[in-house]
Amino acid sequence: MAFFTHHISRSFSSSAARSVVIKNVTIIGGGQMGAGIAQVAASTGHTVTLVDMSEDILKKSVKGIEGSLKRVAKKKFAEKPEAGEEFIQKVLQNVSTATDPAAAAPTSDLVLEAIVENLKVKQDLFGRLDKLAPAHTIFASNTSSLPITDIASSTSRQDRFGGLHFFNPVPMMKLVEVIATPATSQETFDSLLNFSKALGKAPVSCKDTPGFIVNRLLVPYMMEALRLHERGHGSKEDIDVAMKLGAGYPMGPFELSDYVGLDTMKFIIDGWSEKDPDNPLFAPSELLNKLVAEGKLGKKTGEGFYKYK
């Protein structure tokens, strides 16, 4: 516990008593991240509405949640498969879906966005949500790389806007980065922090700087692996084995890039490179650009650096 207290302390006094208790959650974007967050929120007793652009996408999202819940239940209820099935059904009952945020935003305590990593698209979404959601509703973004301040600027609730950055795969990864902008109120920060804990996650506090903590360190490392390979200094297979067996990473950088999504990797590095073109850590990779142009976005499309069945 001392660990959390140390990391999440902020420079002003706490007013947790007035923070919003988050129970009803709308999650926009039912992809890898949104579906994972919806699953964990529903598993911990929250009422979740998952929003995406079509019924077909949402069907896939719910199927993915069900598949992941089966993996969780298999372990959690190893001795009692019936209790595992009951758990799955109970969690699924907490999840509903919609193609229009207007269906749920008016009754939500939190609207969390996990859509495509594009500033304009995120701003448009939040601008619209701002008119739909009541005053107490907190907005948060799961962005990997964009400034929360810039996303929040399309709303009139900068004090009730923060970052809540989860990690892939959400049901397995314990960390959540909680980001307060200079305009985020202490109550909002406390609410987001308490929500992260209610999900069973370990929150850390981050400044609103590009990539927060993890991605600012991890993405340049992953890009450096690509550049090393492009220079002909190692095969992707050897680089992956080397980083797993020599540095203790659970996945090598090529496996992890495929897992994250090559489109997301490209959005991140292009955005940073545009802002800081002279920084060699943010230099683009021709190989990454080529794969994205070919629609090979990694595990989610069946092929990236590697092929998946």
Residue 264, interface with ligand NAI (CB under 6 A)? Answer: yes
Q: Which two tokens stand for residue 208?
A: 């609103």
The verdict on whether 144 is a catalytic residue reads yes
Can you say how many angstroms the Cα of residue 31 is from the centroid of all Cα atoms in its chain?
Answer: 10
Give the separation between CA 10 and CA 252, rounded to whole angstroms: 35
Tell me which of ligand CAA, ligand NAI, none is bound by residue 250, counting a contact when its beta carbon lies within the kind-specific cut-off of 5 to 8 angstroms.
Answer: ligand CAA
Each residue 150-169 as x (binds ligand NAI by CB under 6 A) or -, in order, gives ----------------xxx-
Give the residue carrying structure tokens 């929150």. Answer: 203
Q: Is the Cα torsion angle 89, 93, 94, 100 positive or negative in sign? A: positive
Within 10 angstroms of residue 263's Cβ, the number of other Cβ atoms is 20
**Residue 23: which residues within 8 A CB-CB, separation 6 or more?**
46, 47, 109
* Cα 270 to Cα 264: distance, rounded to the nearest angstrom: 10
Our finding on whether 117 is near ligand NAI (CB under 6 A) is yes
What's the rounded Cα separation, in Å, for the pair 64 and 210?
A: 30
- Chain contacts with ligand CAA (rule: CB under 6 A): 68, 71-72, 75, 144, 167-169, 171-173, 214-215, 218, 250-251, 256, 260
Residue 114 binds to ligand NAI (criterion: CB under 6 A)? yes
Q: Which CB, 101 or 298, lies closer to ligand CAA?
A: 298
d(CA 30, CA 37): 9
Q: Is 215 a catalytic residue?
A: yes
52 binds ligand NAI (CB under 6 A): yes
**Residue 53 binding target from ligand NAI, ligand CAA, none, CB below 5 to 8 Å by type:** ligand NAI
Residue 39 found at the interface with ligand NAI (CB under 6 A): no
Q: Binding to ligand NAI by residue 121, rule CB under 6 A?
A: yes
List contacts with ligand NAI (CB under 6 A).
Answer: 28-34, 51-53, 57, 114-117, 121, 125, 142-144, 166-168, 260-261, 264, 300
Q: What are the residue numbers of the active site?
A: 144, 165, 177, 215
